[in-house]
């Protein structure tokens, strides 16, 4: 149903975003972007939120832990594959990468706290019990980081749902 748009076939409002993504990726346009282009607003919103999430105070591997937890929870294989590559590029411990990909226990307690916090936010639809927030904070995270995790969940829930809907 959903087609892989090119900058020529996409709605005009999606074209600048698609061209920017392709330029950043050496001319490659990921299928997820090509299909999200059917909704310029969704594509631009996702790309904007992604850039904002990348600027949060969470360290890069903690951000990727949020993303991988959302992606595996929501069954978005294209997201998992993309973010496994990103984790490897960041130099993440291969055991951490494997655990995030497979949903197995994390060998890093700090990252395990991030994964648990994401799961609790989902399970409680944001009404995180004080003890769960305290457990997250006990690993050196801040209240700001807790809110940044919520931002990551929202951003990548949107992406995973769109990718699954479009069969990216």
Q: Assess whether 84 and 132 both reside in one domain.
A: yes
| 55-97 residue pLDDT tens | 999 999 999 999 999 999 999 999 999 999 999 999 999 999 9
**105 and 158 both lie in a single domain:** yes
Token pair listed for 160: 């995973």
Residues 149 and 83 placed together within one structural domain of the fold: yes
What gap in Å lies between CA 157 and CA 140, rounded to an integer?
25
Give the DSSP H or E segment for 148.
Answer: helix 143-166
Q: Are residues 110 and 145 in the same domain?
A: yes
pTM to 2 decimal places: 0.96
| Residue-wise pLDDT tens digits, 108-142 | 999 999 999 999 999 999 999 999 999 999 999 99
- Do 16 and 74 fall within a single domain? no
Task: Tell me whether residue 6 is in a domain.
Answer: no
Q: Is 110 found in the same domain as 43?
A: no
Does an H or E element contain 99, and which? helix 94-102
User: 82 and 118: one domain?
Assistant: yes
Residue 48 lies in a domain: yes
Whether residues 100 and 153 fall in one domain: yes
Domain hosting residue 34, numbered range: 12-54
Residue 118: name the closest of 149, 154, 72, 156 by CA: 149
User: Do 69 and 43 fall into the same domain?
Assistant: no
Count of CB atoms within 10 A of residue 67's CB? 27
pLDDT at 149: 98
């Amino acid at each position: 149903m959903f087609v892989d748009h090119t900058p020529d076939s996409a709605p005009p409002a999606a074209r600048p975003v698609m061209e920017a993504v392709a330029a950043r990726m050496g001319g490659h346009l990921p299928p997820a972007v090509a299909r999200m282009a059917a909704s310029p607003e969704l594509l631009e919103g996702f790309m904007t939120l992604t850039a904002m999430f990348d600027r949060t105070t969470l360290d890069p591997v903690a951000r990727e832990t949020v993303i991988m937890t959302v992606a595996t929870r929501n069954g978005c294989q294209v997201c998992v594959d993309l973010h496994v590559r990103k984790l490897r590029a960041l130099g993440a411990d291969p055991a951490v990468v494997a655990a995030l990909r497979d949903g197995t226990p994390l060998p890093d307690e700090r990252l395990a706290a991030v994964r648990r916090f994401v799961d609790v936010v989902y399970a409680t639809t944001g009404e995180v019990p004080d003890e769960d927030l305290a457990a997250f904070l006990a690993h050196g995270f801040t209240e700001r980081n807790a809110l940044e995790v919520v931002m990551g969940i929202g951003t990548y829930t949107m992406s995973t749902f769109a990718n699954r809907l479009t069969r990216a």
